[in-house]
Amino acid sequence: MNKTTITGIIIAIVAFSLIVWMARPGPRNGNTASITAQPSGILSAEETSFDFGAISMASGKVSHSFKIKNKSPEPATIEKIYTSCMCTTASLVTDGLRFGPYGMPGHGFIPKINKIIDLDEEAIIEVVFDPAAHGPAGIGPIQRLIAVEKNGGERLELSFSAMVTP
């Protein structure tokens, strides 16, 4: 092998490792669906996981909305939203505004949102899953993660699962 080939392989390995590291799910702390940071608010979700059941690639995209709420007297700032796979996008919907859709880090730029959620304010995280994104090899059980990252880097994790059929 020549130096150019070796250098290319090293760059590809480093890039792939960085993408995997950025997309990894964070630590989960039991059944709690809340995150806290000082001095910012607490975001929680009515449900943190959803099961689409059996869905067909031929039927096209499916969506689900997760309701989140700030449960503290401090405002919470949503900085970023991102997903664990390119087949999934998520949008923040609040105050009649839509932010997104946002996808997987490494598959496009994930801009900061910096949307403040006040005490008892609710917002919707709208998730869209494309079961055909992985082609015929993508059938079977799947599970995907959506991260709602707050100021300070803390995040609320939402997830969904499905049984993908042809």
Confidence check: pLDDT of 166 > 60? yes
Q: What predicted TM-score, i.e. pTM, was given to this entire model?
A: 0.73
Q: How far apart are alpha carbons 26 and 87 in whole angstroms? A: 20
Q: What is the pLDDT of residue 27?
A: 40
| 128 Cβ contact list (under 8 Å, min separation 6) | 61, 62, 63, 88, 89, 90, 91, 101
What are φ and ψ of residue 89, in 5° steps?
-125, 155
Sign of CA dihedral 104, 162, 34, 29: negative
Q: What is the pLDDT of residue 41?
A: 66
- C-alpha distances in angstroms, 116 versus 76, 101, 140, 141? 6, 18, 38, 36
Confidence check: pLDDT of 10 > 80? no
Confidence check: pLDDT of 152 > 80? no
- C-alpha distances in angstroms, 124 versus 59, 80, 101, 147, 157? 24, 14, 13, 13, 14
For residues 120-130, average pLDDT: 95
**Average pLDDT, rounded, for the chain:** 84
The full set of domain ranges for the chain reads 3-165
Q: How far apart are alpha carbons 77 and 42 in whole angstroms? A: 10
Enter the tokens of residue 48. Answer: 């943190």
For residues 133-161, average pLDDT: 92
Q: What is the pLDDT of residues 23-72, one digit of tens each?
A: 555 443 333 344 433 435 688 899 999 999 999 999 999 999 999 999 87
Enter the tokens of residue 113. Answer: 């949102």
Confidence check: pLDDT of 81 > 50? yes
For residues 19-23, average pLDDT: 60
Confidence check: pLDDT of 134 > 60? yes
Q: What is the pLDDT of residue 36?
A: 39
CATH classification number, 3-165, choose in 3.40.50.720, 2.60.40.10, 3.30.420.40, 3.40.50.300: 2.60.40.10
Query: How many other CB atoms are there within 10 angstroms of residue 148's CB atom?
Result: 26
- Residue 21's pLDDT band (cuts 50, 70, 90): low
Query: Residue with structure tokens 């917002």?
Result: 123
Q: How far apart are alpha carbons 115 and 73 in whole angstroms? A: 16
Confidence check: pLDDT of 85 > 80? yes
Residue among 28, 17, 15 nearest 147 (CA)? 28
For residues 103-120, average pLDDT: 88
